[in-house]
Amino acid sequence: MKNVLEAPFLVEFAKTAANMYRLGWDERNGGNISYLLKEEEVKEFLDVNHVIRKLPLAGVNSAAFDISPLIGKYFLVTGTGKYFKNVLDDPETNLGIIRIAKDKTIDLLWGYKDGGRTTSEFPAHMMSHIARLKVDPNNRVVMHCHPTNLLAMTYVHELDEAKFSHTLWEMSTECIVVFPEGVGVLPWMLCGTDEIGIATAEKMASFRIVLWSLHGVYAAGKNLDETFGLIETVEKAATIYNIIGQRKVVNTISEDAMKQLVDLFKIRDVVRWDFFRNK
C-alpha cells in the first residue's frame, strides 16, 4: 500500500488550502473544502474496508435532502474548527478521507487523528455536490471561503444577480469567459444550517459560484485548480471594482466587446444573455 501522505490528491489539496490561507481567503478556521475522490484512487493508498471510526452527519435533517446519490462515495474533507494554515504541515490532523455510509453516517478511513470530524458545513457541501453532479458528472470539488474584496463588494453593491454579475464582467476581459453564467447571489443567511445549504444547492443548479452576502462564497468545479481559479478570477474582478471606488469610470468593457468574447471563446450556449443590459 502506498503512503497516503504522498497521494497526489492529498498533496494538491494541502497546497491549495495553503494558497487560500496565503491569499487571506481563509482566516482562522474560516472556510472548508470537499473533494469527491474515485474509489480506485483511494484504494491505492488505503484499505477501504478498515473503518477507523463512525462519524455523524452533524447538522443534517434527514428530511431536508436525499443523500442517496452520495452513498458509497469517498471524500477528502477539511475538519471542523481546523485552520487552513496548518493543513500543509499536518494534513492527518486537519483533513479526513471519509465514505458516506448506507445508514447516513460517515466512515472515517483516514485523518482527524485528534478525534475531529468533518467541517460543520459538510451537509451544505453534500447538497452542492449533488446539485453540481446533476449538471456535470465531472464536478468533484466544492470550496467555501471568504475572499476579502468579494465580501466587501457585497456590502456596497446591489445584491441583484444580473447587476452583480454584469459589474464583475466589466472589470476584466477574462471574466465573462471564466464565468459566463455569472454568479449566484444569496442574501445573508445563518451559516451551518440546512436552509442555507438548500438555498446554495438550488443556485448551484445554474451557477458554479454562489455569493453568501456579507459572508463569503461557495464554488464548484471539476478539480481543485479549476475551482480555485474560478474564485481567484471573481475575487480579482471585485478587487478592481473596490479600487475604482467612487471615482468616475471613463472606460469600460462594452456589451459589444463582451459579445465578441462570447463568439471568440464559443460560449454562446452557457453565457447568461438575460444578464446583459442591452440584449
Q: What is the mean pLDDT of residues 250-269?
A: 95
In the predicted structure, residue 66 carries a pLDDT above the cut 80: yes
How large is the average pLDDT for residues 246-266?
93
Q: Kindly state the percentage of the chain with pLDDT values over 90.
A: 85
pLDDT, tens digit (0-9, with 9 covering 90-100), for 142-197 = 999 999 999 999 999 999 999 999 999 999 999 999 999 999 999 999 887 888 88
pLDDT at position 90 over 90: yes
Active site annotation includes 121: yes
Q: Is the pLDDT of residue 36 over 70?
A: yes
CA angle 146, 228, 105 (to 5 degrees): 75
Q: Phi and psi of 264, rounded to 5°? A: -60, -45
pTM metric for this prediction:
0.94
What is the reported pLDDT for 125? 93
Q: Are 217 and 31 in contact (CB under 8 A)?
A: no
Would you state the pLDDT for residue 168? 98
Instruction: With cut-offs at 50, 70 and 90, classify the pLDDT of residue 120.
Output: confident
Judge whether residue 205 has pLDDT over 90: yes
| More confidently predicted of 126 and 246 | 126
Taking all residues of the chain, what is their mean pLDDT, rounded to a whole number? Answer: 94
Give the pLDDT confidence score for residue 103 in this predicted structure.
Answer: 83
Instruction: Judge whether 188 and 213 are in contact, CB under 8 Å.
Output: yes
For a pLDDT cut of 70, what percent of the chain falls above it? 97
Per-residue cell: 126: 453534500
124-29-153 Cα angle (round to 5) = 75
Distance, in Å, from the CA atom of 159 to the CA atom of 162, rounded to the nearest integer, reads: 9
Say what the pLDDT of residue 59 is. 57
Residue 60 clears pLDDT 60, i.e. is over it: no
The pLDDT confidence band at residue 58, using thresholds 50, 70 and 90, is low
Domains present along the chain, CATH in parentheses: 1-118 (3.40.225.10), 121-279 (3.40.225.10)
More confident residue, 56 or 163: 163
- In this model, does residue 61 exceed pLDDT 60? no
Per-residue model confidence (pLDDT) at position 56: 84
Q: Give tens-digit pLDDT for 93-108.
A: 999 999 999 888 899 9
Task: Name the catalytic one among 121, 161, 170, 235.
Answer: 121
Instruction: Tell me: pLDDT of 62 over 60.
Output: no
